[in-house]
Structure 1
């Protein structure tokens, strides 16, 4: 506390010094001003009084006496007597006029009666003027008359003289008083100036003592810092522009053997080196170091230093500019990071081992899911077939139980696979145009039966009117809504679930959907973790509500992949409110609307179909589904058998499992496509229970129409055969999807399609050009711009570009800068390929 008080007191000293200096300057100026006043007043007092009023009045008396004497001599025989009289008259007359007209006397005369007396004298003189101007023979006889007019003026002149004496006395007194006041003011200001100077001197002396103490402390500090630097394990060197090491601490001297036998230090070029682009080392000069620090301190971890024994080791260098004797120098701190790099490599190796373990777990989960899906495919397929037969009430009840248990198991398998794909960063988005209002009704209709079983009502509210067509991934949005609704229904008994959808800002792409329920609610301690994987609220753990705890985790993953936000509010015992905000742009008039799924396939003409499946149950189910819809079906148990059948027979469609013993589905499809025959151009659809994206690259050139996930559902199969949906789209598919382009050409006029393609090409050029400055700054890439461009790519069927942008968007949300750089690196070439394909498509249109 005391040290802080001293610091504050010391920090105020410059302010006090400024005040005292200012006061001293003001007092000094005051002294100078008053001194000048005294000087000028003394000058006035000591000046000649030729124009003094009293002197002039006294001269007036003298002139009057001389005039009267000259008038008396007019009778003398002296011929010059008249001239003398006239001169005396003029002198007296001028003296009177001077007193009346001079500004010097006007003020004094106006404050007394002298002015009136002088004017009466001048009046008398004016009356005599006509006589004085007469010739001598007229002037001499008028002597007595002139004396009669001149003599009485003496009394008036005498009264004026007495009055002037009084005025002179008053003036002298006033001048003395003013001079005394000025001298007093000068004395006071001088004393104040002396006081200010004394205080200023005291402050300066105090500062001198303090700064002297500080100088001693600084010297001690410098000695201590010098000791610290010399005992530091870091190597510290000071370098001039000529690469000379002018100073160094003991660690640097010993480590680099800086001092030679002649006492001269070696240059920095013999110590510091860096690797160039060619992979060789080159010395680092002092001029280069100083130039690198122009814009501030520079830090680099890609520098090598040479030890005294000649061996090179990695160092981390921190450099900054300083000045010594008016010259720029560079201060460098060099730290040996050999152990740090070794530890980092060990950490990276451990991370790679952990990632490899996670990938192994993912592969294991995928393989297990394949083994689980294969028998489940047979179970649910037979259930679907059995549902279309004649059953009694008890059998129908057993069938419903079997369907519910099978569907629950399938949901948990799908959730686990979605979680695995999300963990591997493989969530793909398939953007298109769809009716959001219809999607909301579809999500609700699928859960009405489940809600009815719990005596719960589901209500849909769209307060601002229909939301209309939007652009986004229809399947992923539906999956999010169904998971949220299913969660609300599961935890609500005899209550209400309300779904409200709005667009909070009409000019923005955001759509907000709120799912509110009157169910059990969520404890406060569970709210921060409710969207984590495998998490279930504490009050239902082990209760009567089924589920794996993956639904909300998948919601979070999908919402983040789409660039949205999700949240929850809840009061335990009263209910919960889940909200999700998704970037769903309003679809433009020229957008292509994504076809909605259709539950039937009765409009598909009979097809000649080959089912290739090694599992008897799966093959039987698929065959029966096709036969019941009127299709002609052939069966093959292996890839080899499929090749024999396709050698001579024509098929409209081949439905084939990807994973089969012996010749697998990929190789079988490749041979069918490359071997001339009647089935070479057949539609080819893959079946898989192991949805893994690493296989998609292998089927890019096989012209695969769709990949269907097992278990195969009849509605999905019908829609695929009708060309309404494409199943699971292969990742990294063709650069430009020809089917989308054909659909665009069939839907839009040629001029409109050409304009849209030109606009998309311009958008892509701007996007890729903007990446040039973001290559080295992955954290500054605009996620919304990536998301928008991905949507445009999906509209025109640029599948590979869309997938790459989706992976980039996912990496940006996860903050994985390494993945961001990888995705950015390949985008320019991918865009060039896509643009070339689009140009060809536009010409074809």
Structure 2
């Protein structure tokens, strides 16, 4: 999404239960399909996910109706084609599908999964303005969800945040709303601006803020430039700053406490980063989300070959949080070109990709590279059956993981990639968690 300049944002209303009981795999497939389609058919602007409570029971802990919506600023869908979207094997106009790098299929499966969870799915759209896909599910609130204290403050929040004035500067409306909502839930006082110029012109110098959340890419000036000016105005004070970025990190100011979070921003990462900066904990400015792998999980150079932009972004963030160096490719041909340029410890290879799929790319890799330079190849596939496993192994892959990819399985696969050959051979096949490819 960063390469297309699209902002991916989300907003979860405070009334939504923190923990629910439901079918995680089905919900993940629905959201992944809708977000993937939104990214494919959007060239600029944003893709925004919102979750709210449609209806709640009178008795706490019972079933809620949750309303999800995925809004994009893409090409939109003509009125005459909307009725066919949820039909099996149907799609929007084929020429538009080719132009935007995807077919938009999978909506029929998503609708079926939604109905299986007690809900429904529908779409609103305007040509040239974008589309919003809505769906509802029924979910029971779990008893161990986050609670609030007698003052209405989330118990998971840090005392270091109470009453702290936080400056928020972000050009995207949904991002500003999310950051305001979350920080105020933790007892902070949010001051919000859409640009650096606006912040510099309107900030009250007599009420200095104690921490700042700043988007790296602002109109007129960068987030780093704004942070520098804010510190100069405050007589050089070491203002703690959290920079929010979607792409590679720029060089931070080494003289002041600065951290960085990848967008979309995870609530837990934001909470931990703010707590670290406000309490002065060491390594607060590590530049990542604070979920690094330990000494038993050394850093790897990983090539991720994945054609789906949402999957690519999510897996990249997961790998980076584990401490790995990640390079990406959008199809098998790009993966082979990347391998020619540099050596990789492991390749995560999506099996189904356009132009050149993962199986054929692995065959060519095995045939052309010297054995001592061969990387460890892990297949990524949405359907894990014995036939799938056999085809992957016959193509020369060392292991495979089913989608959605789980952190523990990913870590285990990468650790196995540097283990002795006999340990690889003895590894048991992964759990069969096959599901429809949405």
| Range into which the TM-score falls when normalised by the shorter chain | 0.3 to 0.5
More strand by share: 2
Structure-1-length-normalised TM-score: 0.18
More helix by share: 1
Structure-2-length-normalised TM-score: 0.32
- Whichever of the two has the greater Rg, that structure is 1
